[in-house]
Amino acid sequence: MITEQEQQKKIRQQIGYLFEKELLQEIFNVGKTKKVPMDSTILEPGESLLYIPFIIDGSVKVSRENEDGEEFLLYYIERGDTCAMTLQCCVKNSKSEIKATAIEESEILLIPNRYMEVWLGKYISWRNYILDSYHYRLSEMMETIDSIVFMRLDERLERYLKDHAKLLGSLEINLTHQQIAEDLHSSRVVISRLLKQMERNGMIQIQRNKIVLSSI
């Protein structure tokens, strides 16, 4: 079992450089960590947000879900990141509008949301981090919108696979055709056809519930 000192060292490695020593100590005092298995749902639409999440290890997919349960990928968050959509809900004390899913085994640092505004007025580094997170995620969502409007589906698929591989640090992607179709808001049949075309072009290898990229 990992000791408290080892846990703090891990947290310091991921987010310690972002904050003042005093703020980091407060984070150690009030935060708690939680491990989540791959493909598990961390947050559902409509849930109350009690904690500010930081990704200490692993990566998480953030998506929107319609009334029929169809998902639309917004962005990914990885080590050292937090979710701007949840920060907004913490400020407004509103319920979640997004779904968060671990795409690999992950570890999350949870900070009670009451510290959100307290630290905004107390620490410059916290305020800068929150503002930067909003800006970065807004830029990512704009890129997502641009890709839908201006890119062909085959181009979006290639970009999706490469982004996923970079996020996981591996050329092997353990996703089904149906999962990819849901993220790209398409059909499994269309995605399977495009993947076959990519395979014929030497860009990927298709294996059972796995896709192997030739390069990133």
**pLDDT tens digit string along 77-102?**
888 888 877 877 777 777 888 889 99
What pTM did the predictor assign?
A: 0.74
If asked whether residues 143 and 170 sit together in one domain, one would say no
If asked whether residues 181 and 139 sit together in one domain, one would say no
End-to-end CA distance of the chain: 36
Which of 99, 127, 149 delimits the end of a domain?
Answer: 149
Tokens 């007025």 found at: 121
- Domain around 163: 152-213
The CATH code of the domain that includes 136 is 2.60.120.10
If asked whether residues 131 and 178 sit together in one domain, one would say no
CA distance 171 to 214: 7
If asked whether residues 25 and 40 sit together in one domain, one would say yes
If asked whether residues 60 and 49 sit together in one domain, one would say yes
**CA-to-CA dists, residue 93 to 49, 90, 127, 139, angstroms:** 8, 5, 18, 24
What does the pLDDT read at residue 13?
85
What does the pLDDT read at residue 123?
93
Number of domains in the chain: 2
For 148-205, write each residue's pLDDT tens digit: 777 888 999 998 999 888 888 889 988 888 888 888 888 889 999 999 999 999 999 9
If asked whether residues 141 and 196 sit together in one domain, one would say no
If asked whether residues 145 and 173 sit together in one domain, one would say no
Which has the higher per-residue pLDDT, 132 or 138? 132
Asked if residues 134 and 140 have their Cβ atoms less than 8 Å apart, the reply is no
The share of the chain scoring above pLDDT 90, in percent, equals 29
If asked whether residues 127 and 141 sit together in one domain, one would say yes
If asked whether residues 86 and 179 sit together in one domain, one would say no
